[in-house]
Amino acid sequence: MFTKKGKLIVFEGADGSGKATQAKLLSKYLKGKNINCAFISFPNYSSTWGKLIKRYLKGEFGDVNQVDPYLASILYAGDRLIASKKIKNWLKKGKVIVCDRYIGSNLAHQVVKLQTPNSKLQYIRWLEDFEYRQNNIPKENLVILLSVPTETSQKLMQSRKLDIHEKNIGYLKQVSGIFEKLAKEKKNWVKVECVKNNILLKSEVIHKKILSVLKSKRLI
């Protein structure tokens, strides 16, 4: 019996943009519609690589700008590589996979550490080759960027303990800029505005905007 190939839908965005909330809302919607689906998020802090990522984010290996972007990227790529077999099996079974963070987060958070346009381009080419070709992890069918100003996302994170990325507002603004650039340049990325008139939209309103995008692209 022919099984329709699954889809990989990824949520990206700055820290505090609501990725986990929207990923869970979409998963709930798909299950309610009896659509074969699965949920996964990165990093997985319980994996071998994830435990090292946790130490990195705590600052055990140095400040955010002290850790080489290539070395930091290998940690995140290794974490995804461990999960890639499971993701591939889900896709073969025709599941719609909802993913909270993927390669885009790795790229955006590390490329800002590099100073010149040429060094940034070299890094992006290296990372995409490393993850997609060498590690052979599945490519995203669609990446949804939740666009939230850094000042707004900072307010949303006030109640939680911040890691070395989240403590550095200047760094987060640069990361946000990279995400916006990726959404403009990548064909499989789409930006969803989560703020109107400087006010964060309700999660259900954002969820409906996301459903509209997915339906227009015939992904659900």
Residue 200 lies in a domain: yes
Measuring CA to CA, which residue among 163, 197, 204 is closest to residue 64? 163
Q: Is residue 1 part of a domain?
A: no
The verdict on residue 66 lying in a domain is yes
Mean pLDDT of 164-171: 69
Asked whether residue 122 is domain-assigned, the answer is yes
Query: What pLDDT is recorded for position 159?
Result: 55
Residue 56 falls within a domain, yes or no?
Answer: yes
The closest of 81, 94, 79, 82 to 30, measured between CA atoms, is 94
pLDDT value for 4: 77
Q: What is the CATH number of the domain that holds 92?
A: 3.40.50.300
How many distinct structural domains can be found in the chain?
A: 1
Cβ-contact 109, 172 below 8 angstroms: no
State which residues form the domain around 122: 7-216
pLDDT (0 to 100) of residue 15: 81
Residue 1 has pLDDT above 50, yes or no: no
pTM for the predicted model, two decimal places:
0.91
Region of 39 (left: φ > 0; alpha: ψ -120 to 50; beta: rest) is beta
* Residue 2 within any structural domain of the chain: no
